[in-house]
Amino acid sequence: MTEQDIAVETLALTKRYGAVTALDAVDVTIDSGQYFVLLGPSGGGKTTLLRLIGGFVRPTAGQVLLHGADVSDLPPNLRPTAMVFQSYALFPHMTVERNVGYGLRLRKLPRADIERRVGDMLALVGLDGLAGRMPHELSGGQQQRVQLARALVLEADILLLDEPLAALDAKLRKDMCLELKRIQEQVGITFIHVTHNQEEAMTVADRIALIADGRLVEEGSPREIYQRPRKRFTADFVGETNIFDGTVTAADGDRATVDLGFAGVDVPADRPELQTGAAVAVSVRSELLALFDAAPAGDDWQSMPARYVKEIYLGLTTAHRLLLPNETEVVVQDLSHGERPAFAAGQPLYLGWRAGDACLHTD
């Protein structure tokens, strides 16, 4: 990989507001042409990171490199970035066309050029025929498309999106996600998208970075983040997961045995540093758990006893709540469709999963 292929690199990037540390020494590298999502809970620092990259706030310490050049002290308009804001960020007194063309008019481009580029951009974002509308005549989704066009028309090669779909309803958000992905693939520039919505992140992202408490928790492809989270926080934040605390009783290379107090389970562990006696957590996704009347047989199956509590019908899936012998709650999800045995409250059952489906977390 050459320098040119890296769009954004932050070096120990830190932002403090008085005594509050919004971002704490974050190193992140974003490849050119990637759809990169910053995912995390509200107040975790992901928007701060985006605003530092865009130049809307100045770092307390650390550096922002865009295409290898240090831009830490440059204002937003001198960086190769353009920003799409949460909402209400269109100029309310200008038509769609004038909103999109404003940046080009500031650059004193010939009128014909401006008209052509604005027209092309409106076509790209699917707003042909709405050029003469005022922002208040548009739906929320359309307004965000105008913002997208206004940012893209300047041909910056890094587009920053700050919770661009937060104000839209669920159905529209889904459609807009696919639209964003299509547009990103078409223009081929780097998109950096901030969201707290994991479904949104999964839909658009080539790579996801989890940001919480001002730190970069974990980074990977959507599949890696979901299927093989390394950090306990990641497993907990993304998807429905059951987490059990325990201690390592045996560790041999790629496998560890963990004592949970009421059961011992085998977990895949590619961590050579793992020591016997270490406190760890084991997580299993709710949809990878199954219910059995008797402990499932076979080497591969792991299991533990549990007491049935109740089921919650969720449409696509049904969630079953159970209690472990130590009174912690476990949720098992399966597809609602088809014949299933009914369980009674208090019924003793066994939870089972394939050893390879569990994840081990040391932190």
Q: Which of 12, 69, 75, 199 binds other proteins (CB under 8 A)?
A: 75
Helix (H) or strand (E) holding 284: strand 279-285
Nearest to other proteins of 137, 175 (CB atom): 137
Output 24 or 163, the one with its CB closest to other proteins.
163
Q: CA neighbours within 13 Å on the CB side: how many for 327? A: 0
Between helix 111-124 and helix 96-106 the angle, nearest 10°, is: 130
In the bound state with other proteins, the residue whose beta carbon lies nearer, of 78 and 250, is 78
Query: Among residues 3, 77, 175, 254, which is the contact residue for other proteins, using CB under 8 A?
Result: 77
List b or e across 340-352, with b for residues whose CB sees 16 or more CB atoms inside 10 angstroms: eeebeeeeebbbb
In the complex, the smallest distance separating the C-beta of residue 132 from other proteins, rounded to whole angstroms, is 16
Q: Candidates 3, 88, 175, 326: give the one binding other proteins (CB under 8 A).
A: 88
Reference 260, options 277, 237, 244; nearest CA is 244
Q: Which region, judged by CB under 8 A, interacts with other proteins, from 77-85, 189-197, 246-254, 319-327?
A: 77-85
Number of amino acids touching other proteins (CB under 8 A): 24
Question: In angstroms, what is the minimal distance from the CB of 4 to other proteins?
Answer: 24
Q: Which stretch binds other proteins (CB under 8 A): 20-28, 86-94, 115-123, 287-295?
A: 86-94
Residue closer to other proteins, measured from CB, 106 or 123: 106
**Which residue, 73 or 300, has its beta carbon nearer to other proteins?**
73
Taking CB under 8 A as the binding criterion, the range among 59-67, 80-88, 195-203, 341-349 that sits at the site for other proteins is: 80-88
Contacts of 336 (CB under 8 A, 6+ apart): 313, 314, 315, 316, 317, 318
Closer residue to other proteins (CB): 150 or 231: 150
Choose which of 32, 63, 86, 336 interacts with other proteins (CB under 8 A): 86
From CA 10, how far away is CA 26, in angstroms rounded?
A: 7
Q: Which is nearer to other proteins, 75 or 253 (CB)?
A: 75
Give CA–CA dist 204/132, Å, rounded.
30
Torsion, Cα of 303, 304, 310, 313 (10° steps): -20
3-state secondary structure of 95: coil
The CA distance from 27 to 4, in Å, is: 18
Decide if residue 89 touches other proteins (CB under 8 A): yes
Strands (E), 253-278: 255-259, 264-268
Name which of residues 91 to 150 contact other proteins (CB under 8 A).
91-93, 102-103, 106-107, 136, 150
Residues in 192-221 at the binding interface with other proteins, rule: CB under 8 A: none
Whole-number Å distance between alpha carbons of 230 and 224: 9
Task: State which residue, 156 or 208, has the beta carbon closest to other proteins.
Answer: 156
Q: Could you tell me the smallest distance in angstroms from the CB atom of residue 336 to other proteins?
A: 42
Q: How far is the CB of 349 from other proteins (least distance, A)?
A: 53
How would DSSP label each residue in 212-233?
A: ETTEEEEEE-HHHHHHS--SHH
| Nearest C-alpha neighbor of 174 from the set 201, 206, 143, 208 | 201
C-alpha to C-alpha distance for 276 and 285, rounded to whole angstroms: 25
Coarse DSSP helix, strand, coil percentages of the chain, rounded to the nearest 5 percent: 25, 35, 35
Give whichever of 11 and 134 is closer to other proteins, judged by the CB atom.
Answer: 134
> Applying CB under 8 A, which of residues 40, 44, 45, 54 lies at the interface with other proteins?
54
Footprint on residues 147-186 left by other proteins (CB under 8 A): 150-151, 154
Q: Which residues bind other proteins (CB under 8 A)?
A: 54, 56, 75-78, 81-83, 85-86, 88-89, 91-93, 102-103, 106-107, 136, 150-151, 154
